[in-house]
Amino acid sequence: MAVETLLQVKEITKSFGGVQAILRVNLELERGDILGIIGPNGSGKTTMVNLITGFVKPDSGEVLFKGKTITGKPPHKIADLGVTRTFQVMRPYYSLPAFKNLIVPLNSPRIRRTAGGKLGDKDGVAIDILEEIGFERDAYVPYKIASSLPLGYLKRLELARCLALKPEVIICDEIFSGLSMSEISTMIPVIERLQMDGITIIMIEHRLRELFRLVNRIIVLNFGQKLAEGKPEEVMAKPEVKEAYLGTGAGYVGS
């Protein structure tokens, strides 16, 4: 079966002043893949997202989307191609009701193109997307002002904003962080459904147990370099990964 390589990162390198944030990292993603990127704090995970989505320009290396280079393009052009992201520090439009947050992506050139100029009932579309992602319409959650929503909904709103763009790739930057176990357990089926819809997903995560339920391949970053890649169990069994994650000398706490 020929599988299309959707996203490819080649030897990408970025340093901020004297700090080597990312050094010669390679990455390859096929359509429909779900990939996890993990690593200790400061290992360059978020920089990786910023490099792929154009928010940070790489020093060297290349990002290819459907075989064409997207390195150096501005973020909105990359999003326009269908590569979108959530933010680790949530960035909803606080002063607007939740469903009005989606008016922005629904007005984007990408959606305009696919809709052939006619956008129809944008509010209705926005509320449908929110309902799909777990905003209870009966409880009027989509109509609430974003600043009044609890964290779990804001994280979902982040995801909904990406979905409204009808993306091909979604990069989730720590979408589980700060959520309670019950909030995470309602979030997991949402992401599973996205994958079934054929959306390619990269998940950057600290919550490994939850992540491993979703992904079949992970990449471990440490000090900006790729430490390991492969199936979650195999990768986590490697001594160098354990060392990076848990430090030397300490026993494995937990299960």
Partner 1 sequence: MPNEQLTSRERRRERLDRGIKVRTEGLYALSSWKEMFYLLAPRIVLILGLLVAPFLLDMYWQRVLCAAGIYALLALSFDFLAAYVGLVCLGGSFFIGSGAYISGLLNAKMGWAPFLTIPIATVVGAIVSTLVLLPCLRLRGIYFAITSFMFPLLTVNVIIALNIFGGTEGISALATYPNPWVDQYLILSVVIVSLFTLRRLVNEDMGLILRSIKDNDQAVKASGISILSYKIKAVFIASLIGCFGGAYLSHLYGWVGISQFSLDFSILPIAATVMGGMGTLVGPVIGALILTPLSEALRGFGQLRVVLYCLILIGFIVYKPEGLMNYLQRKYHQFEHWEDV
Report the interface residues with partner 1, using CB under 8 A: 53, 55, 74-76, 79-80, 84-85, 87, 91-96, 100-101, 103-105, 107-110, 122, 161-162, 164-165
For tokens 């994958």, what's the residue?
195
CA dihedral 128, 130, 136, 139 (to 10 degrees): -90
How many CA atoms does the CB half-sphere of 212 hold within 13 Å? Answer: 11
> What's the Cα-to-Cα distance from 141 to each of 89, 145, 151, 161, rounded to whole Å?
22, 9, 13, 16
What's the min distance (Å) between Cβ of 87 and partner 1?
7
Residue 156 neighbours by CB distance under 10 Å: 25
What's the min distance (Å) between Cβ of 117 and partner 1?
14
**Pick 59 or 80: Cβ nearer partner 1:** 80
**Pick 75 or 152: Cβ nearer partner 1:** 75
What's the min distance (Å) between Cβ of 171 and partner 1?
10
**236-250 burial, b for 16+ CB within 10 Å, e for fewer?**
beeeebeebbeeeee
**Pick 104 or 188: Cβ nearer partner 1:** 104
**Pick 43 or 53: Cβ nearer partner 1:** 53
What's the min distance (Å) between Cβ of 78 and partner 1?
8
